[in-house]
Amino acid sequence: MSWLNRIKQILQLPFKVAFIVIMLLTFKITYSQTYSLQQIVNYAQEYSPEAMRNKTAKENKYWQWRTYKSNYKPQLVLNSTLPSYVNNNIPVIQEDGSIVYQTVNRSQAQLNLSLEQNISLTGSKLFVSTSLSRVDDFNKDNHSYSSSPYYIGLEQPLFSFNQLRWMNRIEPLKYDESLKEYVEDLEWIAYHTTYRFFNLLIAQISNNIAQTNLDNARSLYDLGTEKHTMGKISKNELLQLRFGFVSAQKSLAAASLEQETSQLALGSYTGLQEIESSTLLLPDNIGYFKIDEKKAIEKAMENSRKSVEFKRSILEAKEKLEKARRESGLNASLIVSYGTTNVSEHLPDIYSNAQKMRSVNFGLTIPIVDWGRAKAKKKTANANLRLVEYTVNQEEINFKEEIVSQIEYFRMLRSLIEFTNEGDVTAAERFEIARQRYIAEDISFTEYNIALEEKDRAKQDYITALRNYWTTYYYIRILTLYDFEKEHQLEI
C-alpha cells in the first residue's frame, strides 16, 4: 500500500483516532534506541558471529572429550562373516611330498561377540568373548558347527609405551583448557566490541561537534558579512570566516562518513543491525575497585588458559620422551586366554560336554642394530623437553610481567580520566567565553580558532581515555579470568 493511500485512509478516520495514529507513526519513524556499553557487550557475547563460532568450537571440544572418555569404558563388539563362500581348486600336499589339487566348494559363516575393557594403569585389555561358526561342504553335502561358548583373556604389553596412561594425564588438561579458552574468547568479544563501541561513540560525538561547529561558523560568517557591509571588518577577515565556514562543512562531511563506517563495523561484528539508528551512552561510570598485583598473578595461574597450557606443553614433551625410550628398547607382549570349545554336526550339541581351551602367546622384539636411530630419537626428545621447559618458563615470566604492567596502566588511566574530564569541561567553558568575546570583537579570529581546536581535542582526549580504560579492564579479565570488581572467577 502506498503512503498516499495510507494518508487518505487516516484522514477518513475520526479526528481523535487519526491524531493517535499519526502520533504512533511519527514515534515509529523518529524512535531511536539507546544502548549502553554493557548491553552491546552482552548481546555480542550471545549472538555475534564470533560467539556462534566459539560455541561451535566448544561443542567440538566437548565431543572430543567424550571420545576420550569412551576409551575407558567397556566396549561390546560384534564381528561377523555372513557368509564366506569358496569354490576353487586348492593344492593339497600328500605324504610322499607330491601335490594333488582338490576341488573345494563350501561356505562359512561366523559370529563373534566380545566385551572388552581397557585398563589405563597397565595398558592392558581384558576381554570376555563367545563365538559360533558353521561350515557347509557342498561336495559332501554336510555341515558342521564349531563354537567357543565362552573364553576370557588378557592382552598385556610388556615394557612398551602406555598410551592410555598418558592420555589419562593429558586429555583432562586439554578439556579444562578448552573450557577456559571459551570463557577467554567471551572476554575477547567484550574487548573487541568495546573498541568498536568507542569508535562509533567517538564518531557520533565528533559528528555532533562538527554540526555545532558548522552552526557556529555559519553564524559567525553571517555576522561577519553584515559587519563587512558596514565596513567594520576587512575583506581578509571576512574571507577567514568564509574559509572557516567551508572547513566546518568539510569536517561535518568527514565526520558523517566516519560515523557510518563505525556503525557498519560495530553492527557487523556484534550482529546488532539496529545500531544504525541508535544512540550510545557514554560509559563514564568507572569503578574504583583495587587490583592487587600479587592476587592478580595468583588468580591468573589458577584460572587462565595459559596456566593449563604451560602444564600440558611440559606433559606432552615428557610423553614424547617416554615414547622414544620405550619404543627403542626391548618390547614384549603377552596374550592369555581360557575358555571352552566344541565341534558338532548339530547346533545344540556344541554347548554340551564342551572341552577346555587354553591359550598363551608371548611375543618379543629386541632391536640389535639400528645405526644409532633409537639413541637419536631419545636425544631429540630429551632436547625437546628441555626446550619446552625453558620456553614455558620464559613465557610464564612474560605472562606475569604483562599482568603487572596492565594493572599499572589501569591505575594510571583512572587518574588520566579525571584529568581529561576536567580538561574537557574547562576547554568547553573557555571556548564559550572565546566565542562571546569574538562576537563582541574583544579577541582575534586566531584566538577563537585556538579555543575551538582545544575544545575539540579535549573532548577527544577524554573519550579516548575512557576507551583505553574499558579495553584495559577487559584485557585484565582475559589474562586472569577473574572479575576484580565483583570478586569472583569468570566461568561459563
Residues 6+ apart with CB under 8 A from 94: 100
pLDDT of residue 12: 54
Compute the 3-state secondary structure of the chain and give helix, strand, coil in percent, each to the nearest 5.
65, 20, 15
Cα(393)–Cα(396) distance, integer angstroms: 5
| Mean pLDDT per 10-residue segment, the chain (492 residues) | 45 46 40 82 93 94 91 89 84 84 87 90 88 87 85 87 90 93 95 94 88 86 86 84 88 90 91 80 85 92 92 93 84 86 81 81 77 84 93 94 94 92 91 85 82 87 92 94 90 77
CATH superfamily of 34-63+169-312+389-489: Outer membrane efflux proteins (OEP) (1.20.1600.10)
pLDDT of residue 15: 46
pLDDT of residue 456: 86
Residue 280: burial class (beta carbons within 10 Å; 0-12, 13-18, 19+)? buried
pLDDT of residue 32: 56
pLDDT of residue 272: 86
pLDDT of residue 63: 93
Cα(262)–Cα(283) distance, integer angstroms: 18
The three cell numbers locating residue 260:
557510518
pLDDT of residue 333: 84
CA angle 279, 27, 18 (to 5 degrees): 175
Q: What residue type is assigned to position 459 of the chain?
A: K
Q: Which residues pair with 217 in a beta bridge?
A: none
pLDDT of residue 387: 95
**So where are the chain's domains?**
34-63+169-312+389-489, 75-119+124-161+331-366
Nearest CA-CA partner of 364 in 389, 341, 323, 335: 335
- Phi, psi torsion values for 365, nearest 5 degrees: -130, 125
pLDDT of residue 3: 41
- Cell 569354490: give the residue: 87
Asked whether the beta carbons of 319 and 167 are under 8 A apart, the reply is no
